[in-house]
Chain A
Amino acid sequence: MEKPFAITLSVNSSLANHTGSWRVEKPEYVHRMPPCNNACPAGENIQNWLYIAEDGSYEAAWRALIAENPFPAIMGRVCYHPCQSVCNRAELDEAVGINSVERFLGDHAIEKGWKIPAPAIESGHKVLVIGAGPAGLSAAYHLRSMGHTVIVRDATHAPGGMMRYGIPKYRLPREVLDAEIDRIKDMGVIFEMNTRVDDVHEALNEGFSAVFLAIGAQLSKRAYIPASEAARILDAITVLHDVEDGNQPLLGRKVVVYGGGNTAMDVARTAKRLGAEEAIIVYRRTRDKAPANDEEITEALEEGILVKWLSTVKHAGENSLQIEKMALDADGFPQPTGEFETLEADSLILALGQEVDFSLLGNSADLDTKDGLMPVDSTMMTSHPGIFAGGDMIPADRTVTTGVGHGKKAARNIDAWLRKTSFEKIENKDIVTFDQLNTWYYTDAPHVVRERLEATRRAKDFSEVVKGLDESNALYEARRCMSCGNCFECDNCFGVCPDNAIIKLGPGKGFEINLDYCKGCGICVSECPSSSIVMVPDK
């Protein structure tokens, strides 16, 4: 081309100038560990399913959720949500109501009748699960998903374990429990109820390749309380079990519950619903030292349950109890004060914790036990090869969610063991802290408090206390998630790059850095709301 006077070069685009050569550091997209996921005893990928739910893809969100935990509707009611206690959003306004969104997804799935497909390929292995509680059911579900034949045996007549015989209806309606267990049945898990396993080793000879023990802790702890013959003393687990079986225990007008755990709260609230005029909890320490979940204590108090903190039962008579007041010493332990009072009581229910009933295992003497529990190794295996254990019978927190987590972990290890490989968990301990987020980009918004049944009304029957969210609320709540450590496609990096060096790959695909032009300024890292980009040295 003929060039004008004094022009020797043709005009070109600056795209020929690869400014990436200036760079000494480069940005990199990462997946970091959100605190909620890290805290979840069931190992749920919470941030991920909230992200999926945010655009209304509830089924996809639910399927992502049940990949880790088959009981979202149950979790949404009985989980003490340690995820919410560590949620980074709490430092901005309030924690995301993860539990209520989980419940919404669970309930929505039940309403829509979503099913879990049976495995495509059968492995040929047969696994016996002993105990149909949270741990056993979770293990059965995961093992079945992996293609194994699973038989669950349990001595009771309906599956659920403590979810059925320990947690009262007003916290977990049985139709919800049944719906989520039925889904597992529909996958082809075989339930053999009213079947007590007396000999674990014999079972191995029946053709099972592995056994998962999850018999729970069903024996109420006893405390020695001097009592007159006429005193009516019951244990909490039996009372709750009887109520579930429709055998209404005779508790009388005034009921005293001894203990400060969740079971104590449950049984006191149950007593009130059975018609007791007064239900009083006696606990030797203070509220902040009580093992019960704070929400449960609050709900109990709202229902008119009275609590005598710093008190012990010294003597149980026919219609009264002698109570001794306690005082905390310098180390925070309760010490007797010598001050006594009398409390009218028609019955005393002991809720002092539970122990594992190893007699259920019969001839299993060669399985090691320690301090009344069954120790397991890092693969959940007991001292006997091929016999695994989890749930309340091994040393761990005794919650439904922990049990579900044990079931999953055991299933993965059993599967590996059956296939003669080993299960390697990918540990990601790069936990995102609040100060690493760029919170400018998050709008303040408090979380939607689930409606509670009016306290006075709910104490009269067993209808559910905490209500769920409706769809618009659930969506709102899910969208409050700050997506800690994981890209949620806010486009900030794409927008703020002065060099147009971010490539947007399209919905769900995230972004890529165009290293030809990235000068390594780091604005994308500073302006990433969720701390999902880091600068790394460039070689």
Chain B
Amino acid sequence: MSTTPIKFYQVGSFAVGNRLLSADDRSIQSDPDRTNALTSGHRACQGCGEALGARYALDAAMRATNEKIIAVNATGCLEVFSTPYPESSWRIAWLHSLFGNAPAVATGVAAALKAQGKSDIRVIGQGGDGATVDIGFGALSGMFERNDDVLYICYDNEAYMNTGVQRSGATPPAARTATTQAVGENPGNVFGQGKNLPRIAMAHEIPYVATATVADLRDLEAKVTKAMSFRGARYIHVLVPCPLGWGSASCDTIKIARLATQSGLFPVFEAEHGEVVASTAIRHRVDVEEYLKLQVRYSHLFSPKRRDDVITHLQSIADKNIARYNLISDESASS
């Protein structure tokens, strides 16, 4: 993690704010005058992780660029809930074209700004996992390959939520969606398919790739801020739980994101030019079951018959992440 650790034993650096810190050391979200890139009145569901993640990320990008950003949005929940005609929740320059072409449009915006000599205005492309991992993947890969000066942020809620929870390339194994029903011998999404986009992005050897979640605000803000210090193609993949699609309580959005990281299922790391340079250690390790059992999309693993084989399989994925990204440091001992 690239934030400076601050030793306050009451709330440490984990809470959003800390009245004992100097204003400069506080999170951007704790500022009463924060920019609220995505303002109130949007029509996201109760407890929407994506609305939260987008505001966290874009407020940080606004701070980093002196509020000079243009966001290009792919089709998806984020676009639909924020801009039902004629309302908009955006307080930044914002552009929507098609489901699959956001990276290409972002490339075009960046090129236009360059042609006009406006190098101080920065471009952000953003979309859900469907637009990023599946539908806009070709355009995104091209944007990476050309190293266009765009920060692309994927808000990953692991399925096509806007259209009714269909499986995407980012849907995890065993999860139930409308198109991977919990029926048959191997219920839910199959194992061994899907794409790990952060690793694919790294394979393009672009300047900066990072993962983050809505459970660690400080980390997400630091990564967006850092990404804005680079030129060229950058990619941040943010895990944003979806109460509707995951079948979780609306109040548990952050808790679930936290359990995803603490179980090892969602590794939080950053990479520069194709190499992992840092990862966020697990603080209180939990079994994947702790994460799974809060979500109806995994309920078939617990009833009517407990599927220890599947749970073990998911645990092995978490264990592999922990080993691969070195998520258990010597300091994070307690479990």
Asked if B10 contacts A12 (CB within 8 A), the reply is no
- List the B residue with the shortest CB-CB distance to A482: B10
Asked if A521 contacts B89 (CB within 8 A), the reply is no
A14 to B12, CA, bound (A): 36
Asked if B253 contacts A521 (CB within 8 A), the reply is yes
- List the B residue with the shortest CB-CB distance to A524: B251
On chain A, the residues within 8 Å of B67 by CB distance are none
Query: For window 246-284 of chain B, which residues contact chain A by CB distance below 8 Å?
Result: 249-255, 258, 283-284
Given contacts A479-B20, A526-B251, A526-B255, are A13 and B9 in contact (CB under 8 A)?
no
Given contacts A440-B258, A476-B9, are A521 and B16 in contact (CB under 8 A)?
no
Residue B51 contacts which of A480, A489, A498 (CB distance < 8 angstroms)?
A498
Main SS at interface, chain A: loop
Query: For window 185-225 of chain B, which residues contact chain A by CB distance below 8 Å?
Result: 217
Which of the candidate stretches B35-43, B103-111, B154-162 sits at the interface with the other chain? B35-43
Asked if B47 contacts A9 (CB within 8 A), the reply is no
Contact with B along A484-516 (1 / 0, CB 8 A): 000011111011111111001011000000101
On chain B, the residues within 8 Å of A12 by CB distance are 86-88
Given contacts A14-B42, A490-B17, A521-B47, are A526 and B254 in contact (CB under 8 A)?
yes
Asked if B52 contacts A498 (CB within 8 A), the reply is yes
On chain A, the residues within 8 Å of B334 by CB distance are 444
A114 at the interface (CB under 8 A from B): no
On chain A, the residues within 8 Å of B98 by CB distance are none
Count of chain B residues near A, Cβ 8 A? 53
Asked if A525 contacts B251 (CB within 8 A), the reply is yes
Asked if B250 contacts A523 (CB within 8 A), the reply is yes
A15 to B44, CA, bound (A): 13
Which of the candidate stretches B26-34, B120-128, B226-234 sits at the interface with the other chain? B26-34
Asked if B9 contacts A500 (CB within 8 A), the reply is no
Asked if A498 contacts B44 (CB within 8 A), the reply is yes
A514 to B13, CA, bound (A): 27
On chain A, the residues within 8 Å of B243 by CB distance are 521
Distance of A145 from chain B, by nearest CB (Å): 30
Given contacts A14-B89, A479-B9, are A496 and B16 in contact (CB under 8 A)?
yes
A378 at the interface (CB under 8 A from B): no
A209 at the interface (CB under 8 A from B): no
Given contacts A492-B16, A529-B11, are A16 and B40 in contact (CB under 8 A)?
no
Asked if B20 contacts A22 (CB within 8 A), the reply is no
Asked if A495 contacts B251 (CB within 8 A), the reply is no
On chain B, the residues within 8 Å of A519 by CB distance are 45-47
Asked if B30 contacts A491 (CB within 8 A), the reply is yes
Query: For window 1-33 of chain A, which residues contact chain B by CB distance below 8 Å?
Result: 9-19, 22
Asked if B51 contacts A499 (CB within 8 A), the reply is yes
On chain A, the residues within 8 Å of B36 by CB distance are 500
B285 at the interface (CB under 8 A from A): no
Asked if B15 contacts A529 (CB within 8 A), the reply is yes
Distance of A419 from chain B, by nearest CB (Å): 39
B96 at the interface (CB under 8 A from A): no
Query: For window 278-307 of chain A, which residues contact chain B by CB distance below 8 Å?
Result: none
A15 to B90, CA, bound (A): 10
Interface range on chain A (Cβ under 8 Å from partner): 35 or more
Asked if A495 contacts B40 (CB within 8 A), the reply is no
On chain A, the residues within 8 Å of B13 by CB distance are 443
A260 to B316, CA, bound (A): 58
A517 at the interface (CB under 8 A from B): yes
Asked if B9 contacts A523 (CB within 8 A), the reply is no
Asked if A9 contacts B86 (CB within 8 A), the reply is yes
B18 at the interface (CB under 8 A from A): yes
- List the B residue with the shortest CB-CB distance to A18: B41
A173 at the interface (CB under 8 A from B): no
Asked if B14 contacts A443 (CB within 8 A), the reply is yes
Distance of A447 from chain B, by nearest CB (Å): 9
A445 at the interface (CB under 8 A from B): yes
Asked if B10 contacts A494 (CB within 8 A), the reply is no
Asked if B88 contacts A11 (CB within 8 A), the reply is yes
Asked if B27 contacts A13 (CB within 8 A), the reply is no
Asked if A440 contacts B14 (CB within 8 A), the reply is yes
Contact with B along A66-105 (1 / 0, CB 8 A): 0000000000000000000000000000000000000000
Residue B254 contacts which of A54, A444, A527 (CB distance < 8 angstroms)?
A527
Could you list 28 examples of A-B contacts with CB < 8 Å? Answer: A12-B86, A13-B41, A14-B42, A15-B39, A15-B41, A16-B41, A443-B12, A444-B9, A476-B9, A479-B20, A490-B16, A490-B19, A491-B29, A494-B17, A494-B32, A495-B16, A495-B17, A495-B27, A498-B48, A499-B40, A499-B51, A500-B55, A501-B40, A517-B40, A519-B45, A519-B46, A526-B254, A535-B251
Task: Known A-B contacts: A498-B55, A521-B47. Give 17 more (CB < 8 A).
Answer: A14-B43, A15-B40, A15-B41, A18-B41, A441-B11, A442-B9, A443-B7, A443-B13, A482-B10, A490-B15, A491-B18, A495-B27, A495-B217, A498-B253, A517-B41, A525-B251, A526-B254
7 closest Cβ pairs, A-B complex? A491-B17, A495-B16, A522-B251, A443-B12, A14-B41, A521-B47, A445-B9
A contacts, CB < 8 Å to B: 9-19, 22, 54-55, 440-445, 476, 479-483, 488-492, 494-501, 504, 506-507, 514, 516-517, 519-523, 525-527, 529, 535
